[in-house]
């Protein structure tokens, strides 16, 4: 176990200035890497001087960290906490474990994979993710997702959800939270009032859910009620428009949704946080100050990643001074933040003794078990007598060749195992592929198609599946298709099952990691 964090004494709220109180409601984003020249998203990630000013001078309440290695993040968190007069909430999107965001730690398959193994693994995921988060100073997990992903065309939730039914999501949610609660860390249910039945990515535009209140009560709301009953610490709003719940505002800016339903009907007393305010689903609706004022009036306690932190603080202070927002409303939010910080903000665990808890053999074994078991294989490749005339192609298709290095390299099983059996390799992506004729011609007599595709924020809707279907149909027509393997989204697989002849082997894995690649290729007959 990690050492128990010491309790802290937070200052009396009445001793904080209005600006200091408001600043506690902001969580800003930083790069997990140590140096400014490593910043990957300069529009959203603050330089060291700007970050130090916001923490030390303004007193922002928290930081969300993305990118870098786990060891780098641990060092950076220690430095940021040293700048803070009031301990920081340090958040991270760790829906698939700490290794999803920070290299060196344990990376689990996507949550939906649990439905193919056992929900008992959800408890282990929560426990391991909490332990590894605390080991590097992260005290707020922006997980679990409790959306019911019942729309196959959902580009942003997809396999990040625990399941496609209310029961699947609720069972895994309870287990995940129970595992995390073994440690002094915050958990977050997202994205309220439900983001699973959308076909639009709220990073790029505002989705709409036309359902009436009864539909929400039957599908979207139960997982949130379940998470609240399980003791979840925070609920994150969704940047979606649900006109039957509020005909005027998106959920993040909606008093009827955040205050009347979440606080009133559901009785939630913990933190309400917005989703990232730099997302186009909300950022396009006004400037930073206007959006912040509306979010606070709607009931939000935490403003996550505002597009301009200082402008947000100034606008909220002016709104309080003018009477648009009451001082009591600000105080209510800061009191909730104080309660959360009392739970998690204590003495930072020592760096060196705790880094060995990251990606240790026991934790990795759990992730590997899920990855290797959450697979499906139909039939095997029929190996005929050695034929020197066979010219075999391993066609690897990814969402984006510039972002696939986390799971696909020259050393990955999906590359190495077919190569050992004489396959040539071509890698292409959904942005550049055209059709089979462009790169096969008369060169190859057999084609193995391996597809790495899952729902990804910011990618939006594409005709990726249609293009893939055309390539598969061409390979079938030419009698060259040997097998198809999909890693990632079962919805991607569903697009192709209807066109695959019954004698063509196929395989599927939720995980895109090496363990899953090996397991599928072994069962399909492409590895010994």
Q: Where are the domains of the chain?
A: 91-362, 374-524
CATH of the domain spanning 91-362, picked from 3.90.1570.10, 3.30.1360.170, 3.20.20.300, 3.50.50.60: 3.20.20.300
pLDDT, residue 403, reads: 83
Mean pLDDT score, 477-487: 92
Mean pLDDT score, 471-500: 89
Alpha-carbon gap, residue 458 to 155, rounded angstroms: 9
Burial class from Cβ neighbours inside 10 Å (0-12, 13-18, 19+) for residue 507 reads buried
- Residue 492: pLDDT band with limits 50, 70, 90: confident
pLDDT over threshold 60, residue 457: no
Q: Which residues contact 197 (CB under 8 A, 6 or more apart)?
A: 148, 150, 151, 154, 209, 211, 219, 220
Mean pLDDT score, 308-318: 97
pLDDT over threshold 90, residue 295: yes
Could you tell me the maximum CA-CA distance found in the chain, to the nearest angstrom?
84
Q: Which is more confidently placed, 230 or 439? A: 230
Helix (H, G, I), strand (E, B) or coil at 134: helix
pLDDT, residue 1, reads: 42
DSSP-derived secondary structure for 234-261: EEEE---B-TTT-SSS-GGG-HIIIIII
- pTM of the predicted structure, to 2 decimals: 0.92
Q: Flag the least confident range among 186-200, 225-239, 349-363.
A: 349-363
pLDDT, residue 323, reads: 97
Pick from 22, 111, 10, 46: nearest CA to 489: 111
pLDDT over threshold 70, residue 34: yes
Express each pLDDT in 139-161 by its tens digit.
Answer: 999 999 999 999 888 888 999 99
pLDDT over threshold 90, residue 440: no
Alpha-carbon gap, residue 154 to 215, rounded angstroms: 18
Mean pLDDT score, 285-305: 97
494 backbone dihedrals φ, ψ, rounded to 5°: -60, -30
Alpha-carbon gap, residue 238 to 206, rounded angstroms: 10
Pick from 314, 405, 343, 335: nearest CA to 130: 343
- Residue 374: pLDDT band with limits 50, 70, 90: very high
Distances (CA, A) of 152 to 143, 161, 371: 22, 12, 22
Tell me, what DSSP letter sits at residue 69? B
Pick from 158, 163, 162, 93: nearest CA to 129: 93
Report CA dihedral (141, 191, 62, 328) to the nearest 10 degrees: -130
Express each pLDDT in 99-130 by its tens digit.
Answer: 999 999 999 999 999 998 988 899 999 999 99
pLDDT over threshold 50, residue 5: no
Report CA dihedral (380, 385, 389, 393) to the nearest 10 degrees: 20
Alpha-carbon gap, residue 502 to 430, rounded angstroms: 26
pLDDT over threshold 70, residue 463: no
Mean pLDDT score, 193-198: 92
Alpha-carbon gap, residue 17 to 95, rounded angstroms: 36
Mean per-residue pLDDT over the chain, rounded: 89
Contact 143, 93 (CB under 8 A): yes
Q: Flag the least confident range among 5-14, 88-97, 218-227, 354-363.
A: 5-14
Express each pLDDT in 35-82 by its tens digit.
Answer: 888 888 788 888 999 999 999 999 999 999 999 999 999 999 999 999
Domain 374-524: homologous superfamily in CATH = Glycosyl hydrolase family 3 (3.40.50.10870)
pLDDT, residue 384, reads: 61
- Residue 390: pLDDT band with limits 50, 70, 90: confident
Alpha-carbon gap, residue 274 to 303, rounded angstroms: 6
pLDDT, residue 459, reads: 54
Contact 309, 277 (CB under 8 A): no
Pick from 253, 23, 234: nearest CA to 145: 234
Q: Flag the least confident range among 30-44, 204-218, 434-448, 494-508.
A: 434-448
Alpha-carbon gap, residue 451 to 435, rounded angstroms: 15
Supply 252's token pair. 């993040």
Residues of 451-473 as b/e, b for ≥16 C-beta within 10 angstroms?
bbbbbbbebeeeebbebbebbbb
Alpha-carbon gap, residue 54 to 286, rounded angstroms: 23
- Residue 9: pLDDT band with limits 50, 70, 90: confident
Q: Flag the least confident range among 155-169, 172-186, 248-262, 387-401.
A: 387-401
pLDDT, residue 4, reads: 44
Q: Which is more confidently placed, 1 or 162? A: 162
Mean pLDDT score, 224-244: 97
pLDDT over threshold 80, residue 291: yes
pLDDT, residue 350, reads: 58
Burial class from Cβ neighbours inside 10 Å (0-12, 13-18, 19+) for residue 330 reads buried
HSE, side-chain direction, 13 A CA sphere, residue 475: 31
Active site residues: 203, 275
pLDDT, residue 40, reads: 84
pLDDT over threshold 50, residue 514: yes
Q: Which residues contact 255 (CB under 8 A, 6 or more apart)?
A: 246, 249, 297, 298, 299
pLDDT, residue 129, reads: 97
- Residue 468: pLDDT band with limits 50, 70, 90: confident
455 backbone dihedrals φ, ψ, rounded to 5°: -60, 130
pLDDT, residue 300, reads: 98
Alpha-carbon gap, residue 427 to 172, rounded angstroms: 36
Mean pLDDT score, 279-285: 89
Q: Which H or E run contains 20?
A: helix 18-23
- Residue 3: pLDDT band with limits 50, 70, 90: very low
């Amino acid at each position: 176990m990690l050492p128990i964090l010491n309790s802290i004494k937070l200052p009396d709220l009445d001793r904080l200035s209005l600006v200091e109180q408001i600043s506690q409601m902001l969580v800003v984003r930083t790069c997990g890497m140590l140096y400014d020249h490593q910043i990957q998203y300069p529009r959203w990630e603050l330089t060291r001087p700007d970050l130090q000013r916001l923490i030390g001078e303004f007193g922002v309440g928290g930081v969300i960290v993305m990118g870098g290695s786990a060891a780098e993040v641990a060092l950076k968190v220690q430095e940021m906490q040293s700048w803070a007069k009031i301990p920081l909430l340090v958040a991270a999107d760790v829906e698939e474990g700490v290794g999803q965001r920070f290299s060196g730690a344990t990376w689990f398959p996507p949550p939906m994979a649990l439905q193919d193994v056992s929900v008992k693994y959800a408890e282990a995921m929560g426990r391991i993710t909490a332990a590894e988060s605390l080991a590097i100073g992260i005290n707020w997990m922006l997980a679990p997702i409790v959306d019911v992903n019942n729309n196959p065309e959902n580009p942003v939730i997809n396999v990040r959800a625990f399941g496609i039914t209310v029961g699947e999501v609720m069972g895994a949610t309870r287990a995940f939270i129970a595992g995390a609660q073994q440690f002094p860390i915050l958990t977050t249910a997202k994205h309220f009032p439900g983001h699973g039945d959308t076909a639009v990515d709220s990073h790029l535009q505002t989705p709409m859910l036309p359902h009436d209140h009864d539909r929400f009560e039957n599908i979207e709301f139960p997982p949130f009620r379940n998470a609240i009953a399980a003791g979840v610490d925070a609920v994150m709003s969704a940047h979606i428009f649900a006109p039957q719940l509020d005909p005027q505002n998106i959920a993040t800016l909606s008093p009827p949704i955040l205050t009347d339903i979440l606080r009133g009907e559901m009785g939630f007393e913990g933190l309400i946080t917005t989703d990232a305010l730099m997302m186009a689903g909300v950022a396009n609706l006004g400037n930073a100050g206007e959006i912040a004022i509306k979010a606070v009036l709607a009931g939000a306690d935490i403003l996550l990643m505002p597009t301009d932190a200082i402008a947000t603080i100034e606008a909220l202070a002016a709104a309080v001074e003018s009477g648009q927002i009451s001082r009591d409303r600000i105080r209510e939010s800061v009191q909730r933040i104080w309660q959360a910080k009392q739970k998690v903000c204590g003495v930072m665990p020592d760096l060196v003794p705790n880094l060995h808890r990251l990606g240790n053999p026991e934790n990795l074994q759990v992730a590997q078990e899920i990855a290797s078991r959450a697979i499906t294989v139909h039939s095997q490749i029929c190996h005929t007598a050695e034929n020197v005339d066979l010219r075999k192609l391993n066609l690897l298709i990814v969402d984006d060749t510039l972002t696939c290095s986390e799971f696909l390299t020259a050393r990955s099983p999906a590359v190495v195992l077919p190569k050992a059996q004489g396959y040539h390799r071509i890698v292409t992506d959904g942005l550049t592929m055209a059709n089979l004729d462009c790169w096969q011609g008369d060169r190859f007599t057999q084609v193995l198609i391996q597809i790495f595709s899952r729902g990804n924020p910011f990618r939006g809707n594409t005709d990726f599946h249609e293009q893939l279907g055309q390539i598969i149909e061409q390979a079938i027509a030419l009698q060259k298709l040997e097998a198809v393997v999909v890693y990632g989204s079962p919805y991607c697989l569903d697009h192709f099952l209807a066109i695959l002849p019954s004698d063509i082997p196929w395989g599927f894995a939720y995980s895109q990691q090496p363990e899953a690649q090996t397991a599928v290729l072994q069962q399909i007959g492409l590895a010994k």
